[in-house]
Every structure is written in structure tokens, then in C-alpha cells.
Structure 1
């Protein structure tokens, strides 16, 4: 039987191995082709706003419903990224149906602050 100390060390070792193997949050970018067989791969790769291809050099991230909001007139969006609210430029909003269903944003950073390249609202469920 393992001691409490040994179990704790084993848990830390497993956590380290999982992190070093890249097991963690998924991104919408697929630089090494590991998601090429996903049914949504081609859809993600085709996403593009007036600011450029979404998946070119910006990792897409899923954001929770509490991390985005619409303006009072319902025409503009803001997202909470890197501990700050960022206005989504109108030309960064994707107009096609969201096949993934979850709200996503593709930020890049300038002087340490996020800028939105692409944004697609989700179903808010």
C-alpha cells in the first residue's frame, strides 16, 4: 500500500507527464495536422475575417458566456481576454453559422495587449 506522500508524488508525476505531452486545452489552430481527421478541420481552416485568416497565426480559444458581451444596441461585442475587456472590431466578427457551437475568439498580442483577429459568437447555452 502506498503512503499519502507517495500518492502525492505519483499524482504530481502524472500531472507533469500530461503537461509535457501536450495534453491540455485544445486550440483551433492545427499546425502539425493532428486534427486533420476532425469533421470540423476544414471549416476551422476556412474561417477568415476582414482582418485575415483566423487560424493562420492566432490560436482560437473558447470563451465562456460570462467572458463576452454585446453592446446595448446589440451590434457590437467585447470579450474578456488576458484579464482585460477588449472591443471586437466589426470587421473581425464572422458572419457564417458557428458549426462548433461555442463562442470563440482568435486574439493576437501587441505590446502585451490582446487584439481580436476573429470572433464568432456561440449559441449561449
Structure 2
């Protein structure tokens, strides 16, 4: 939050959205409320965050900002970091899929071994269902 109470002519021109020359002209005409000159520098007070310009008596109505503009938000995105993180996640997902595939293959091999063992027991005349240990 900006807690300034006074600004110079250049900053006032940015806040009002008009040229520095126009601000200097308004200052010389005494049309900026509360403005004082200190040495070579104009000190322009801020009222609710903005300089106040007194309207002229003749001619078209002036156009300038009367309320502070909202601050523009700039979001900086580091694309390299994001892409590296995505690549790392994809790599971890691929590795997890590979581990799952290997585990499934090992399980299938164990099932085949168990089936072969049952066949060998039956060939030897032993009933594998009767001699199985119950867990």
C-alpha cells in the first residue's frame, strides 16, 4: 500500500494520465489543489491517493483520472521449471507403471510355478488339496 502524502509533477502526471507539460500548466494556473513549490520542485498533495484538479471556467471539460487505477498484477511463470516438474512427474508415473508390470509378471510366474507343483504332486500320487496348509 502506498502511504505517500505528496508527489512531484512527473508522478502526478502518471497518476492523472496526462502529460507532464499539462500538469506544469495546471500548476502555473493554480488549478491543482494544495500544490506548493519548494525551491524548484512542486509538491502536490494527495487526497484519497490522487491529486485534485480544479475545473476550469471555460472550454471543454478536462479529462483525467479522478480515482486511483487498480494495480496491474504481473504473474511471472518460469516455463522451464514447470516443464521440468512435469517431466519428472511423467517419469515417476512411467516408473510406477513399469514396477506394476514387473510385479504382475512375477505374480503370473508364481502362479505357473504353483500350477506346475500341483501337477508334480498329482503325478506322484499326492492330492495337493488334502495336504495344503490352511492359513
Q: Which has the larger helix fraction?
A: 2
Same fold (TM over 0.5): no
Structure of greater relative contact order (alpha carbons < 8 Å, 6+ residues apart) = 1
Normalised by the length of structure 1, the TM-score is 0.23
